Structure 1
Amino acid sequence: MLPLSLATLDQLSQDVVRPAYDPRATTIGIVHLGVGAFHRAHQAVYVDDILGHDPQWAIAGASLRRADMRDALAPQDNLFTVAVRSGEGTQLRVIGSLRSIDVVPENPAAILARMVDPAVRIVSLTVTEKGYCHDPATGDLNTAHPDIVADLANPRAPVSAPGLIAEALRLRRAAGIVPFTVMPCDNLPSNGPTVHRIVAQYAALLDPAFGRFVETDVAFAGTMVDRIVPATSEEDIAGISEALGVTDAWPVVSEPFTQWVIEDRFPTGRPDFASVGAQMVADVEPFEKMKLRMLNGSHSTLAYLGYLAGYETVSAAMANADIEKLCRDLMTDEVIPTLDLPEADLPAYRDALIARFHNPALKHRTWQIAMDGSQKLPQRLLGTVRDRLATGASIDRLALGVAAWMRYVTGTDENGASIDVRDPLAARLKALGDTAGRDADALVKAYLGVEEIFGRDLRDNKRFSDAVKRGLAMLLEKGARATVAAYAAGDIH
């Protein structure tokens, strides 16, 4: 088959949705750092809707690590397919909003040139939690991070997201061009203020006056993003290409649900995001906290427990009634009481999440969600733990999620097989687990000593450590399925 491209759009199957505009007639107004599956199934779709009536907001993408996405999409004129899957079937849509992809390690100057273009008024990011080179426990820049060390030594050819943003802002300032708005779209608590602080701290290390400029003159728009996007499989590529009638080298798969809440902080202008379904607000933090704690917290919990219990996908794990009940009770009894969002129906949101987790068409792997837990736990579970501890409320299910992560990062599953733990701290966590052995007290003491994750407060909190030990001891002795069954039945004391 011929490849998907502008030249083959007219050969697509009739039921495939295609751009309602000519991508060649658009101009680039957004630079996006971190062109991965989530961005292509979320922000790029909203922008695709916008370009039908406002062509000045096309996206120039940047890959901070690898060339594989650029190499796959460049022969396709950067077109790609979003396959929206549910129990009712699959809807295919070709997206044209991504105009280019630069690979930062190959040529940092190319993406910097795009970021300095006065037509670019937004720089957005999906670089995952670890891509911000920060300390998840404090939210501050990690000055010992290898990428930050490299960028401080050679700031004109940066490789990190904070370094790229700072250098582009410096160049714009030197040229008399107003700053762009920075719009992080990752799962960080208070992602707007957090990224603002990280970039300002980095800039101040280069020049205190520049740091003050970033702090006072650059807008950072916080967001809350929500859509489940599993990794694309070879089977997905073959099936989607067959349905298209042309070959798409790297489509993305997603669920029908999508949500985007954006702080309206764009002094130099923005697309009409609200016209395509985004929600513009003055403060995104309550929505962000709701999503991080309810969706992401329960997602991580069921991913670790589900993986340990032998379930490859989220929907397979949710078919276990005990896992479903644990997730529901976690949200109802331990998470929702920590949230203050009168404009949201939290029980209805919980029920929608449970239904989304059950979607059998997504094939979202528990292993994929389990990645980078050292970066995710502080946002997804530990903030809720701290709030519950402060009021003396129960933390049993939250602590079980932490215990399941500890069991997972030992690197050996319940059958003695090796777990492919993908985490920036994987080697360190494995070494701690090897030293402690299968002793719950020793493991909990070792892992709680990782201050980048738990801080000193949780390390020294006996009620928290006791609750985690109880869950971990049960996981080690009885296994994940029996442990979840006991917790779901309330039989844990």
Structure 2
Amino acid sequence: MKKLCYKTLKEQGYDGYLLEDAPERVLQFGEGNFLRAFVDYWFDLLNERVGFNGKVVLCQPIGSGMADMINEQEGLYTLFLRGFEDGKKVNDKRVISSVSRCLNPYENYQAVLDCAKNPDLRYITCNTTEAGIVYDPSCKFEDVPASSYPGKLTQFLYERFKNFGTEKGKGFVILSCELIDDNGKELEKCVLSYIDQWDLGDEFKTWVKEENIFCSTLVDRIVTGYPRNEAKQICEELGYEDNLIDTGEVFGFWVIEGPDSLKEELPFEKAGLPVIICKDHKPYKQRKVRILNGAHTSFVLGAYLAGQDIVRDCMNDDVISGFMNKTIYDEIIPTLTLPEEELKEFAAAVKERFNNPFVDHALLAISLNSTSKWKARVMPSLKGYVDKFGKIPTCISASLAFYIQFYTGKRLEENALIGVRKDNEYEIKDDRYVLEFFDAHKDDSAADIAKAVLSNTDFWGEDLTQITGLLDDVTKDLITAREKGTYEVMKECL
């Protein structure tokens, strides 16, 4: 079987969209599954729909990566987007041709720096994981390359400045996709720190600030990556060997915080794509964290104790899905600032995403580190609801009882607290101090452990027993969960 490349597709008579030749307008730090199923996909559609006419040159961010594999396939790969959309099962296939090549900075860093001489290059995208945007003072300007991503970016920007520093409009629009708050602003801080540390001069520093736009962004798509168990069969059906097959959910949404001028430069809206350029991305981030992630955290622990194992099956249970819907529509949405219709549309998409027939999302996987997750994802909705309505939200308080019941283990081991569901043991994984706390309180009465948990300021940053009525409601739900099960609590909430 022939390997995927432009020649192979021509020989097959492939009639889908392909852009074989175009200037490299985007430099991307990261060549993994997520960026290829998200950023490179959007640029591919931008090329097809509005003639953006730009290629993405990838830079492998760490020593071991996929540069050779990508170059062997001339940047081409097949992307499958799968799931539910408007109530219908979807399995869309597209050959992505927006990628030109992939560079390995650890083998040839000069090839990366040479991209800075390209006058067509305008955009830099990145997803170097949450740990990627870090200022590491051990990095030196002479390193080939700097070990940290912000260090590499500073080196690259300096190379650009040397070539075009006096010319207006040759800075970059930098689109940071890492999953940290204010990712663009944090990346800019790191770059400015390196400029000071490396003594690169005020003129360069001014150019970085005035000629470059560091955009914070919100990314939203579950990417399931290379379908290892299906790959052989898929290649047989495609008629070519593709070692870079990528898979993700149909839903995708990208919010870019930047000036209105970017809407002309990056005409995603004109192309009809779910990519929003706005002055503040935070309301959209709040929507995602509170509705999508908050819904997960609110119901999965109770659903697991009720006998479920994956998210999709929960959506087919009227009680559990009803509990989730009430949490979202009655208790979370009223606390958010975006227009209600937008919030309801997003909520409807969330349920379709949870019902994705191609993704077996394990409840135990979602349960990891539920303490910090509940604080970040659910607690703001609890407090917002109390502030607005002056009473305790029924489902959110029940989710706190589910959390306590799930974390009530029977013994502490080296890496986990061991809980029991019916006759089967399960692992509770969280920070060690959290597990030790619950192990110390495993024999407490419902009232005692509820009070101990809610008043633990190390968990929540405040004493939740000070919220009038919360301790009573959580204790009541915890007693019911212990005596009749979490499923019964959900029923009572409805």
1:19-418 → structure 2 map (5 Å cutoff): 19-22=17-20, 25-52=21-48, 54=51, 56-65=53-62, 67-86=64-83, 88-103=89-104, 110-114=111-115, 117-133=118-134, 148-151=136-139, 157-177=145-165, 178-197=170-189, 199-200=191-192, 203=195, 209=202, 214-215=208-209, 217-265=211-259, 270-276=265-271, 277=273, 278-302=275-299, 311-342=308-339, 344-366=341-363, 380-381=377-378, 383-384=380-381, 387-388=384-385, 394=392, 397=395, 410=416, 412=418, 414=420, 415-418=424-427
The 3 A distance-change label for structure 1 pair 285 and 360 is same
Correspondence for 2:439: 437
- Residue 265 of structure 2 aligns to a residue whose secondary structure is coil
What CA deviation, in whole Å up to 9, does each residue of 1:156-204 have, x standing for no partner?
6333333333332233234444321111234444544454455445655
Whether the 8 Å contact between 1:436 and 1:443 is mirrored in structure 2 is: no
Gaps of 5+ in 1: 134-142
d(CA) in 2 for partners of 1:107 and 1:372?
A: 40
Whether the 8 Å contact between 1:30 and 1:59 is mirrored in structure 2 is: yes
Whether the 8 Å contact between 1:296 and 1:380 is mirrored in structure 2 is: yes
Whether the 8 Å contact between 2:227 and 2:246 is mirrored in structure 1 is: no
Which letter does structure 1 place at the counterpart of 2:58?
G
Does 2:492 correspond to 1:489? yes
Which letter does structure 2 place at the counterpart of 1:119?
D
Q: How many residue pairs were aligned?
A: 461
Whether the 8 Å contact between 1:130 and 1:375 is mirrored in structure 2 is: no
What CA deviation, in whole Å up to 9, does each residue of 1:340-384 have, x standing for no partner?
223843223212321221122333455665678798767644554
The 3 A distance-change label for structure 1 pair 163 and 390 is farther
Does 2:458 correspond to 1:449? yes
d(CA) in 2 for partners of 1:105 and 1:375?
A: 37
Deviation of the 1:410 alpha carbon? 4.2
Deviation of the 1:337 alpha carbon? 2.0
What CA deviation, in whole Å up to 9, does each residue of 1:58-89 have, x standing for no partner?
11223434634435433322211111223535
Whether the 8 Å contact between 1:200 and 1:212 is mirrored in structure 2 is: no
Deviation of the 1:95 alpha carbon? 0.6
The 3 A distance-change label for structure 1 pair 55 and 280 is closer
The 3 A distance-change label for structure 1 pair 309 and 199 is farther
The 3 A distance-change label for structure 1 pair 123 and 482 is farther
d(CA) in 2 for partners of 1:465 and 1:449?
A: 20
Which letter does structure 1 place at the counterpart of 2:76?
L
246-255 vs 459-468, which moves further = 459-468
The 3 A distance-change label for structure 1 pair 214 and 153 is closer
The 3 A distance-change label for structure 1 pair 49 and 444 is same
Correspondence for 2:16: 18
d(CA) in 2 for partners of 1:475 and 1:366?
A: 20
Correspondence for 1:140: none
218-227 vs 37-46, which moves further = 218-227
d(CA) in 2 for partners of 1:98 and 1:443?
A: 54
Which letter does structure 1 place at the counterpart of 2:356?
N
Correspondence for 2:8: 8
Which letter does structure 2 place at the counterpart of 1:18?
G
Query: RMSD of the alignment, in Å?
Result: 4.4
Correspondence for 2:411: none
What CA deviation, in whole Å up to 9, does each residue of 1:250-279 have, x standing for no partner?
322233333333345387983432232233
d(CA) in 2 for partners of 1:217 and 1:331?
A: 42
- Residue 131 of structure 1 aligns to a residue whose secondary structure is coil
Deviation of the 1:94 alpha carbon? 0.9
Asked which structure has the greater RCO (Cα within 8 Å, sep 6+), the reply is 1
The 3 A distance-change label for structure 1 pair 101 and 487 is farther
d(CA) in 2 for partners of 1:101 and 1:374?
A: 40
Identity %: 23
- Residue 47 of structure 1 aligns to a residue whose secondary structure is helix
d(CA) in 1 for partners of 2:196 and 2:395?
A: 41
d(CA) in 2 for partners of 1:98 and 1:472?
A: 56
Whether the 8 Å contact between 1:116 and 1:168 is mirrored in structure 2 is: no
Which letter does structure 1 place at the counterpart of 2:338?
L
d(CA) in 2 for partners of 1:11 and 1:92?
A: 19
User: Which protein has the larger Cα radius of gyration, Structure 1 or Structure 2?
Assistant: 2
The 3 A distance-change label for structure 1 pair 308 and 42 is farther
What CA deviation, in whole Å up to 9, does each residue of 1:407-455 have, x standing for no partner?
6794645433457x6xxxx7xx1465246526257995898637xxx6x
Which letter does structure 1 place at the counterpart of 2:489?
A
Whether the 8 Å contact between 1:105 and 1:159 is mirrored in structure 2 is: no
Which letter does structure 2 place at the counterpart of 1:252?
D
Whether the 8 Å contact between 1:191 and 1:223 is mirrored in structure 2 is: yes
Between Structure 1 and Structure 2, which shows a larger proportion of strand residues? 2
